[in-house]
Amino acid sequence: MALMAENISLHISGFNLLRDVSMRVEPGTVTAIVGPNGAGKSSLLKVLTGEMIATTGQVSLNHQPLHTWALEQKAKMLAVLPQHTVLNFPFTADEVVALGRIPHQTGILKDELIVADALKAVDANYLQKRFYTQMSGGEKQRVQLARVLAQIWEPTQLGDQFLVLDEPTSAFDLSHQKLTLEIVRGLAEQGTGVVMVLHDLNLAARCADNLVVFDSGTISAQGSPEEVLTEALISQVFGVKSIIAKHPVTQKPLVIT
């Protein structure tokens, strides 16, 4: 089973935002989407998560067209972390994370345990009773990450689970960037399929099994980071000259610009 896009195109008011995009997110793998600003990465995520409907083509979740899943069932399998979440109400961190349990009927006691574990997983247990409105940008983003983790904390019989993250590390310092990638790898090891938009090519190379390079509404290249990241492709897509080296420890490609 998988999260799959088949030949999707998206036309909105005369603009071709996506052109004939096909990709497949397998459970237990991490897919990173990279590409220049305005390439259509966010549109792709919106179509992939059912927020927008493709003009042509189809998105399917676990062998069933995405829009035919009941919303609550879909929410048990697919969690989405947007780039920005504006929340102006003084919820405490654990209340925000508990919102991730809305699709489930697991009871207050169990939800409390999951909320506490999710906050611990993102190194935010010290925030538990603090007000969201008074947190720093990085703290807020960690709490939101904990919220989507809580949403898919336990496997469901409905099918494989997927997590979609739009630039999850943009507000994070180095240690929390690293923590996020560890969380993502950990989820993949437990069988979750992860898709994320990243801006840092080296972060993407380090943690992705499948790297999708996106440019002007279509996929320029996809495959393992070693296959995809070439000097020619980077100059073609980003218009930047670069050297591809090997990371001395992880042996993953290292893009030096």
Provide the binding-site residues for other proteins, judged by CB under 8 A. 49-51, 71-76, 78-80, 82, 85-92, 95-96, 99-100, 102-103, 131, 133-134, 151
Q: In the bound complex, what is the minimum distance in angstroms from residue 99's beta carbon to other proteins?
A: 6
Q: Which is nearer to other proteins, 89 or 257 (CB)?
A: 89
Distance CA 3, CA 22 (A): 11
75 or 233, CB closer to other proteins? 75
Cβ at position 83, least distance to other proteins in Å: 11
Q: Looking at beta carbons only, is 86 or 232 nearer to other proteins?
A: 86
Q: What is d(CA 229, CA 225) in angstroms, rounded to the nearest whole number?
A: 6
Q: CB 5 → other proteins: shortest distance, Å?
A: 17
CB 223 within 8 A of CB 211: yes
Nearer to other proteins, 28 or 103 (CB): 103
Minimum CB separation of residue 84 from other proteins in Å reads 9
Dihedral of the alpha carbons of 160, 27, 168, 98, in degrees to the nearest 10? 20
Q: How far is the CB of 91 from other proteins (least distance, A)?
A: 6
Q: Minimal distance in Å, beta carbon 158 to other proteins?
A: 12
Q: Among residues 237, 222, 166, which one has the least CA distance to residue 21?
A: 222
Residue listed under structure tokens 């305005």? 38
**C-beta of 78 vs 205, nearer to other proteins:** 78
What does the block give as tokens for 246? 């090997």
Give 211's contacts (C-beta < 8 A, 6+ positions apart).
31, 32, 34, 204, 205, 221, 222, 223, 224, 225, 228, 229
Which is closer to other proteins, CB of 148 or CB of 188?
148
Strands 193-197 and 162-166: parallel
What angle do the packed helices 174-189 and 137-151 form, to 10 degrees? 10
Residues 6+ apart with CB under 8 A from 257: 240, 241, 242, 243
Shortest Cβ 135–other proteins spacing (Å): 12
Nearer to other proteins, 105 or 251 (CB): 105
